[in-house]
Amino acid sequence: MEPSDVYPSEHIGRVFGEVKTGEFRFFIVPLRNILLKTSDFVVLDDPLHGEWCPIIAKVVDLSHREEVSTTEKSVRTVATCKVIGQVDLRNPEKIPVYMVKYPVNPGTYVYIAKHSFIQDIFCRSREGYPLKDKLFLGWFAEKVTDENGEPSMVDFYISFEELVKQHSAVLSMAGFGKTQLVTVILEEIANKYNYPIFVLDLYGEYFGVGKGKEEIKDYPFNFKVNVYTFDPRRVSDYLNVKVKDKTNYRLFRFSILSDWLDKVEELSYLLASNKNDVEALNLIFSHVLTVHEDVLKKFKISPFVLVVLELQRIVEQGGVQDPFTGIERKVALTLLGRVRSLVEEGLVWLGKDEKFFEAYMLDAEDRLCKAYGRTPIPKTGLKVEIPVESLNPEFMVKLGQVSIFDVGSFSEDLKRRVATLVLDKLYKARLEGKIPGFFLVIEGIDRLFSEVCFMEVIRRLVDEGLRLNISVCMVSQHPSKIEEVLGQMGIRFIGRLLNIEDLNCLKQVLGEEVLKEIPRMGVGEWFVDGLQKFPLEQPVRIRVREKYSKI
């Protein structure tokens, strides 16, 4: 790399006034095609080594200064910059970012940094070598002005090796992109490196991983996705967990339309827990009975099954809100979980065989799609219901495979007990060398911490996991609830948080300046902290790329 690759020949200003080691100001020289803004990168020649050791700085503030003389009045723009570091171009193979230990000289020319130079620097490790195992997660949150005056995105990469050799945490309140970020990470790891991945999915969020929304030329999805679960009744008996008492409820038997109409009100009462649920159910019921009336008669589909299919459609179509009914996806997901629980607990009866419901649902979906001329939503893999007694990690942790264990429809108590059982089996299988090292995602981990046995298992995984090549990624809405193990998470992805307790528990790892920004962050924006191979030591604010999977 030559000095001419770092900045153009025309300068954009000169340093003036008091100059500190990590901060300086300069008067901006107006250029025809460049309008400088905060977050832009600038470079200066080093006072000792000149253009071969350029100093990199970031514009953090802009202000206007009025100057008045006896003859005229003028306004000049002042840019305040923070020094990031400097690089040595004399060894092009190794270009680390060094700390600057002396101030630049007043009068030094300031140049806009070339986009290619900035991109090259951030595609290197902290030692200065180009990243060979990089994962593309998105871009720096703010666009930067390039040498042509155009706003440009700077790609953001992290090292695959660093990610799977540290524990990590994804921390954000609901609705601000946790699932999107984790999906992007899974896509990158599985598609580029075939590394084994296991996802403990508490909310049924990851069924669509590995199936593209559309054909992507450079993203073939060359990994396998399997979805597993337990029969809730059998696992309840196995773990000695009591299921909901059925004596207070009537069994709902849906076969014809009249049966359905008689029991709609009672079913609504059973399913709904708040006003939003009631409104959503009323919309679904009226939608089914009006829009799908001909389908009900012609294809003999039970209205109950059609309601479940509508809920599934809303969940699987993605987006925040269904355009046809106006129902929010998260409300549909909650209702769908309750409906499944009713069926699995035997409160809703659709046939004599306990396997009838699943077969009936698949058949009903095919008939519904046929009636409306729609193509069924493609599945990435059929959910496999495995006997709890024969849970075998060797089938679920393999190279080139993403395994998703779904407990979304289980009760909260059962979720905690099943999570403990599954993670304990995985840990012991890895300890005995029966399975390879793997990347473990635990979605909604803060909901599991009230289980004493789960805490024992998670402590073992966190304390001994890295030695066994098990990298734990904890996904949580409330970092304060997992504070006991949060300090052992080497890499932290921090999105929007408002809870005071959550913000307070991050004070030790984030500075006050970053902490103030967290409540103002948007959907898909993250601070990434704790990267040991990234050129910069301070947290980096990024915007995550769009996920390619259909979720």
Helix segments in 137-231, DSSP class H: 160-164, 178-193
Q: Token pair 């073939």 is at which residue? A: 220
Determine the Cα–Cα distance for residues 22 and 36; give it in Å rounded to an integer.
Answer: 20
81 backbone dihedrals φ, ψ, rounded to 5°? -125, 145
150 backbone dihedrals φ, ψ, rounded to 5°? -95, 145
Question: E-assigned strands of 210-359?
Answer: 224-229, 252-253, 348-349
Determine the Cα–Cα distance for residues 135 and 30; give it in Å rounded to an integer.
Answer: 38
Q: Token pair 């809870």 is at which residue? A: 499
Q: How many CA atoms lie within 13 A of 220 on its CB side?
A: 4
- 292: closest CA among 303, 282, 276? 303
Name the residue type at position 91.
N
Q: In sequence order, what are the beta bridge partners of 427? A: none
CB proximity list for 358: less than 8 A, separation 6 or greater? none
CB proximity list for 467: less than 8 A, separation 6 or greater? none
- The answer to whether 321 and 327 are in contact (CB under 8 A) is yes
C-beta atoms surrounding 218 within 10 Å: 5
Query: In Å, what is the CA distance from 352 to each residue of 230, 244, 254, 357, 417?
Result: 20, 21, 13, 9, 29
Query: In Å, what is the CA distance from 542 to each residue of 116, 154, 181, 508, 526?
Result: 18, 10, 11, 21, 5
Residue numbers in the chain where pLDDT is lower than 70: 32, 69-70, 211-220, 232-278, 287-306, 316-319, 337-390, 550-551
Determine the Cα–Cα distance for residues 99 and 515; give it in Å rounded to an integer.
Answer: 24
Question: E-assigned strands of 89-241?
Answer: 109-112, 134-140, 144-145, 151-152, 155-159, 168-171, 197-201, 224-229
Determine the Cα–Cα distance for residues 249 and 245; give it in Å rounded to an integer.
Answer: 8
What was the pLDDT predicted at 411? 76
CATH 3.40.50.300 given to domain 165-230+386-544: yes
Q: What is the pTM of this model?
A: 0.74
C-beta atoms surrounding 176 within 10 Å: 18
Question: E-assigned strands of 267-351?
Answer: 348-349
Pairing state between β 252-253 and 348-349: parallel
246 DSSP 8-state letter = -
Query: Taking the domains of the chain in order of start, what are their residue ranges?
Result: 3-157, 165-230+386-544, 244-372
Determine the Cα–Cα distance for residues 130 and 260; give it in Å rounded to an integer.
Answer: 64
Query: In Å, what is the CA distance from 19 to each residue of 29, 81, 102, 109, 354?
Result: 19, 10, 10, 14, 77
Q: How many CA atoms lie within 13 A of 447 on its CB side?
A: 21
Q: pLDDT tens digits, residue range 388-443?
A: 666 889 888 999 889 999 887 777 788 888 899 999 999 999 999 999 999 999 99
What was the pLDDT predicted at 356? 45
